[in-house]
Each structure stands twice: as C-alpha cells, then as structure tokens.
Structure 1
Amino acid sequence: MSLLEKIGLPLIRSVDPERAHGLALSALRAGLGPRTYAFTTPRLRTVLAGMSLENPIGLAAGFDKNAVALPALHKTAFGFLEVGAATPKPQPGNPKPRLFRLTEDAAAINRFGFNNDGMVAINGRLKDHKGVVGLNLGANKDSADRAQDFAQVLSHCGSNIDFATVNVSSPNTEKLRDLQGKAALQSLLAGVIDASNALDVPIPIFLKIAPDLTSEEIAEIADVANTSSISGLIATNTTLSREGLKSAHAGEKGGLSGQPLFEKSTRVLAELSTQTHLPIIGVGGVSNAQQAYTKIRAGASAVQLYTAMVFSGVSLVHEIAVELDKLLIADGFKNVSYAVGVDKGLWT
C-alpha cells in the first residue's frame, strides 16, 4: 500500500460508501493514483479469447460504471479493464443507501440496480482508450425486451471496446437472473452474437454467471456456452448468501462481494471448467496473489477484482502481479497459461 493510500483510505472509508466510491474515482482522475502501468513478465503475458494481455489481472465491472476514469486506470497495473454495466437508456438505479461496507468481513453489499449514464454517454468515453477494455452489457429495469437491450448496447458501443460481457447474473434487477435459464439464455446470446458479427470487427463475448447455481444449472449454462459462439465465461457475480458474516450490515439486501465469496465462486469456476474448454475469468474474493493463483489453478485463464481495493487501494494490483510472477517461478511455470486448471480436481 502506498503512503498516499495509507493516509487517504481511512479518510475515504469514514464517509458514506457510495460517496467514498465517487471520491476514489475523483482521486484517480485527479492523478492521485499509481502510475505503474501493467506489470508484466514473459510468465504473466497471456492471451485471453484472442486478446493479448500484459498480465492476467483485470478490473471487474462496477468500479468504473460510467467509464469516467479510463485514462487513470490505464496507468495502474491492471492487465485489462471492464467498465459498466451500461444500459440503453440512462437510469438512476435503486434508492439510496444501496452500498454497504462490511469491514469485519472484508466484503461489501450493493443493490445499485444498474445505475449508469446510458450507452450514448458511456460510448463517448470509450473512444480512443488505451489497453484492453471491455464493457459489461445490461438491461433497463423498465424494458419490454431485456434481451434486446443487451444487443442494442453492443451495437452502439461495440466498435469502441475490445470485449463485451453479457451480465444476466446481477441480483439487483428483478427477474434478471431468470435469463440464465437455458432457453432464454440461448435466445439472448444469439441476439448478442448477431450484434457482434454485424460490427466491422466482431469482438469476444463473455457470459457472466451467478455463484448461486446448482450443479444442474451450471451444466445447462455450460451446454449453452459450448453450443453458442461466445468466447468465454466470467465466474462469478455477487452472491445472495449471507453465511458466516459478522458485520452489522450483513442483513442488507443485495449482492455480496469480497472475501466471503472466494470459496463459493472458486468452486463454481472449477466445476464450470470441467464442462467447457472456453476460457474463464475468475472473480470473487481475490485480495492477494495467492488467491489469484488459486483461481488460476482452479481453472481461470485470468482473474478480476474490485472489492479488495476498498480495503487495500489500487496499488494492491501491482503487488498481486509481482507476487503472482514469483509464485509461477517457484512452481516452475514458464507461463501462467500452463498453470490454468492444474488443481481443478481439488475443487470439484
């Protein structure tokens, strides 16, 4: 953790969590963040769904919902970034308060509800970005055709991004997770793939799934993924589980992220990896290099994080990249790709 973060993080955490989130973005935009750029070595460089990454550590969607801090985030150690979720029309999201910091559990609960500036405004900020940047696609709460919303956002923004994520796993938009059912998911993905193919240069499409799935549901999603033309999966979004929490805000409604999600999301990741050859991005509870490495060994080709930065700052990303490289050296891996899935049998 940098000296600036040691001073600034306690101050930011002393205010309302959503306001603190805004202050963190403002600090990055003001040039107060790290300027380490993506830390890389021959072991960390990898290819994800055809995209060349300097390292396999990505920013999860939700931190920069409106793509307002891309130039600053490009200067951090992340190997790739994901912004959004973006919906066709701007929407305010759910009533406040809607973000809760669970310090005792190194976790957070949010029920934002896809609050964002809309695809037109976000697309304007995506132009001429640096590095590998993806967009999380969402649907408007009042939409008559949510499946069409995903394709519409991709059609509008697709020429300015490197990949897109179909987000049907947020627990904060009513009935959105119903789109994870086999028939609905097949139809939705077909529309998104058609939108991608209509771009001048089609881009990789990822599907982000929930951690709160049965083995049967995971198998259905894997079957759909394998028979569609998507490029990969993201496992997982936030959970509705509250098992083992200690914090006062444990009972708040919304999706739980952070440390309590690590084991659950890793088990889903490993199970999914046994049923598909598509690359998987592992997300959920990553707060150090060992946890990133564990997800990779469980089947992840890359990882993402977000909540851990609430407690450790953006400089955490550089620390994870450096230590991950050391872990690969210690285990004799010439490249991170050779470590993908070597331990998945331990999780399934």
Structure 2
Amino acid sequence: MINGEIKNIKVNGTFYPTSFILVGIPGLEGVYKWVGLVVCLCYVLGLLGNMILLAVISASSVLHKPMFIFLSLLASNDALLSTSIAPKMLSIFWFQKRHIGFESCLLQMFFLHSFTSLESGLLLGMAFDRYIAICQPLSYGSIMTNSIIVKLVIFLLLRAVILFSPCIILIQRFPAFRTNVVPHSYCEHMAIVKLAAADIRINSALGLAVAFTISGTDMLFILISYCAIFHAVFRLPSKEARLKTFNTCIPHMCIFLSFYGLALFTFLSHRYGGKRIPPYVHIILADTYTLVPPMLNPIIYGVKTKLIREQVWKALSTYQSLHVK
C-alpha cells in the first residue's frame, strides 16, 4: 500500500499502476499553502466571473446576439476547464491528497485537453464573427445564424474528441511505467507519457501533431481574420468610425493574446528551455496557462464591453432595490 490508500504493482523495477501520485510543483513544497491560496483565488474569481457573465447574457435579451452567444460558450468552457484541474490541485497543495486513480487521471487529461481545444476553437469562432460583422456587415444576419453556431460547436467538440482520443488509447496500451510519481500538478499528457517504460516516440509525435493541428490552425486563421479586419478598419472614412469599430475587437484581441501568448511561452520553454529553466518554472507556466485565462476572460469583457457593463449594473441595481424593499 502507498499511504494506506491504493496498491500499485511493481515488478522488476516497473509499475503497473492503479494510481498515480501527483507531486504538485517540485521544489516549492515549503510554500504549498501560499501556492494553494493563489490557485484558489484564480479558480474562485474565474468561476464567479464566468457564472455572472453567463447569468447576465442569458437574462438580457439585448445580449442574445452571436458575439455574446460565443462569449457565453467561452464562459461555460472556462468554468469547466478550471474545474477539471483546480479542485485536485488544491487537494495536493492544502491537504497532501496526491493520489489519483489511473482511470481518473486519463479522464482528467481528456477533459483538460478537450476543453483547451474547445477554447481555441471558440476564439476562432469569435474572430470569424468579428470578421463578418466588420468586413461583410450586410451579410452578417444571414451568415451568423444560430444554426451555424450550433454546427460550429458540434464540429469543435468532435474535433477535440476525435483528435485526442488516440492519445488516451495509446497511454492505456503502455505495458508498464518506470514510476507512478508524476512531477506535475495535474495529469498533463506528456508528463504521463514520459513515465512509460516503452518507446514513446509515437505518443510524443501524435501529441505534437494534435497540438499543431488544433492550436496552430486556429491561430493562423485568427491572424488572417484580423489582418482582413485591420485592413477594413483603416479604410473607414472617419477616425471616430475607425475607433468605434476597433473597440469592438479589443476584448477578443486581449483574450486571444493572453491564451495563445501563455500557450506559446509554455510550449517553447518546455521544449527548448532544457536544463536552463528549473522544472518548477515549467509547471508554474503550465498551471498559469490553464488557470489565468479563465479568470481574465470575464474581467476583460466586463471592463471593455459597454453592453455587458450596462446589463451588470442594471442587474445589480434591480437586486439592490428588491433587497431594500
């Protein structure tokens, strides 16, 4: 038994694990309570912000437009993304509950990467929405219909499941693992793959191919959309019109930069940082990449979008008046 909890079979120096042990952030064990406090703060703020955003959009008929439908989908995905990892991270940092069952680990990995994939796809959908609204405004109503949005979301969900399922299946086919101790805060794909007592080249190549197929393709089309948007904006006759149109894109641009900026920084530091960057830095970056964007997204849209600000204040005023009565 390990800590009297779950048995892991060890034969000739290899493991046939029924569970993994998540270390958290190796090297920062002395400050786990403070790390847990930061994780809890990010999680609670993100969950609260996204729930408020969902409530305001669903309750306000003036926000029942494609732009805000995409935003509500993003808020739902952000809440699920952070929930897939934050509770387990808090149990590690605050209560030293490091064990996670083999199947539970694979399930967490699947949800984490699926929600990350969906996040990327929704950002692409939001960029497409802004492109149609600015570059083809007369066709906006006929193109950006609820039917199109539903089909896009179904496609994005299927894309995540179809592309990432083989990664899960290949991990299940490993004959054994060198250890069941995972030097990470959650069940990240490559962190588990590197523990295998087998040839991992196919898994590594597949993980890289999936990442580039999803994030690389989405980022490319988002950049193309914004090149077309900027070209259209700068051709507008008046400065006031240019600023007004450009302001509708600022929240999405901020979210795009925070998500992909952290993703690229995490990827590059992990792949090319080598021994120059301490392991705990890689893990902190990975944790930041999964926890910070879901926290920032509702704040960015709440601050930068006038319609949302107005509806939030309206809801607060209504609540306050009812409470006073």
Say whether the fold is shared (TM-score over 0.5): no
Larger radius of gyration: 2
TM-score, length of structure 2 as denominator length: 0.27
Q: Which has the higher strand share?
A: 1
